[in-house]
Structure 1
């Protein structure tokens, strides 16, 4: 489900989603008419999974956001024999929005973006806007609508403890994928990868894969190394589809995830938790969502001061249900 913050860090928004779609948070190229400069090459993947059915085409007439072509850093080589050459598909160019570009966080439901909005994060089931669009994907846990079926048909892909599936305490209708073995990670990737491919087919520019921090809820069964091995597969899959890959939260793994080729960050409450500088120290673009007015105001004040300003950081204030503007209690603010 689209989420804002996981347990002990904030809130999520639950909404039904089909596996063939992507969440509303992600930014990637694809057919991006706003791209500038020659296309950059990113590592290709050997995956041959068919893309999911694309979301409905957007009817937006806004001018696409300015983007910058980037070259993603390759994963660090590992020791061992040199593999034989293989044919791999050519990856599409990956682009990023300009650092500091205005963005909107719309995973709770689509809205017409404000005129000065450059980046829009939406659920995979929503259509992209034609600006710089980021697609939200729940990649480390099941969607509520998929949990029961997966437990019936492929229970081995779900992490178990004492014979019971390991659930997210904050969202008990979501269970954790089992990422403890390479063969399981590959099978989970094929499920989630179809959603990623669907984001690309729909015309999104990037993908934000949520619940990177699921290992902290795994009762110690999933190690950080397991998580990072899976992230490497996700980054490769996204880049092969022409999508930039956004790290979602989990500041403690920032250096490692960036080294695997991640391109930007979608963070929640990084000012509240004093983590924004962790992200901006290694990423060129950091999109931060605050849910507390005082934290948002503090972040805006800091960003308006040349001494305290963090390069590449953009901050918005949202209600904890990330509701559309027409909903009661909806909050949308930017600085």
Structure 2
């Protein structure tokens, strides 16, 4: 799905330590391997000075002199855009028994319907320009969220439908000279780099879910892991300290990949709910 120049690109490492896929003076720059990163989806703020990578929503400006990743909710709707979608594109939202399907954990988000080639094309007519704008704004990469939306689509979607749409997202990102991340969906990790053509991975709570190795064995040290502070029980219902998962992650692979500990709503650093830690 990549353009010809990308298929023939060579991988190099520049003085900053950022990997670069380059051809004909055009480049796709990969995030710094094992670089310290900050996840700012709940509101932007000035990152700590030694942070190298910042993830922000597509509607927010990137940070100067950092590697910026543009968050795009590519498989679900954003809460503030619910009415826009139902008014303008109701046919592109998953329905079951005449009702819009929402994410059980984020009930203000509808599932986008990527079940057919026609719907995928119509969705790319909307989402594609968002990706282009990320490039124009100065971001270096895309984080397309909710790749695993099939598991809450009430059977309308499948890993296959989402994989096909992911390939379209990858092509659009690469055509704009942006790297693109696999976000979660460990089931697709074996296909991630070679078939779908993701460049790196951003993964949430893979320590809690016991699936981190699925990502590191295919993406190596370009996995960026977030563990959250709101788990008080393990999978067996046993009470636990939520920071224990973060500590276990740091012990297991903190010397190889970037791992952070954050509050679930990833709020601004001025909020009393803000929490941000990195491995020692």
With structure 1 as the length reference, what TM-score do the two structures score? 0.71
Counterpart check, 1:290 vs 2:248: no
CA pair 192-178 structure 1, distance change in 2 beyond 3 A: same
Question: Residue in 1 aligned with 2:6?
Answer: 42
Counterpart check, 1:187 vs 2:122: yes
| TM-superposed deviation, 1:141 | 1.0
Q: What is the CA deviation profile of residues 118-152 of structure 1, one whole-angstrom value per residue up to 9, with x for unaligned ones?
A: 11111112211131111111000112222223222
> Structure 1 CA distance, aligned partners of 2:83 and 2:26?
36
CA pair 193-242 structure 1, distance change in 2 beyond 3 A: same
> Structure 2 CA distance, aligned partners of 1:205 and 1:275?
27
> Structure 2 CA distance, aligned partners of 1:180 and 1:120?
32
> Structure 1 CA distance, aligned partners of 2:72 and 2:94?
19
| TM-superposed deviation, 1:173 | 2.2
Work out whether residues 170 and 197 of structure 2, in 8 Å CA contact, stay in contact via their aligned partners in 1.
yes
Range with greater deviation from structure 2 (256-265 or 147-156): 147-156
CA pair 65-117 structure 1, distance change in 2 beyond 3 A: farther
Structure 2: 5+ residue runs without aligned partners? 9-14, 229-241
Work out whether residues 249 and 267 of structure 1, in 8 Å CA contact, stay in contact via their aligned partners in 2.
yes
Q: Choose which of 100, 106, 123 in structure 1 pairs with 2:34.
A: 100
Question: Residue in 2 aligned with 1:325?
Answer: 269
Work out whether residues 32 and 53 of structure 2, in 8 Å CA contact, stay in contact via their aligned partners in 1.
no
Question: Residue in 2 aligned with 1:254?
Answer: 189
Work out whether residues 216 and 223 of structure 2, in 8 Å CA contact, stay in contact via their aligned partners in 1.
yes
More helix by share: 2
With structure 2 as the length reference, what TM-score do the two structures score? 0.84
SS at match of 2:209: coil
Work out whether residues 40 and 54 of structure 2, in 8 Å CA contact, stay in contact via their aligned partners in 1.
yes
Q: How does 1:301-316 map to 2 (within 5 A)?
A: 301-303=251-253, 311=256, 313-316=257-260
| TM-superposed deviation, 1:281 | 0.6
After TM superposition, the runs of 4+ consecutive aligned structure 1 residues lying more than 4 A away are none
CA pair 165-131 structure 1, distance change in 2 beyond 3 A: same
> Structure 2 CA distance, aligned partners of 1:91 and 1:260?
24
Question: Residue in 1 aligned with 2:19?
Answer: 68
Counterpart check, 1:265 vs 2:201: yes
Question: Residue in 2 aligned with 1:172?
Answer: 107
> Structure 2 CA distance, aligned partners of 1:290 and 1:192?
28
Question: Residue in 1 aligned with 2:158?
Answer: 223
> Structure 1 CA distance, aligned partners of 2:133 and 2:96?
32
| TM-superposed deviation, 1:43 | 5.8
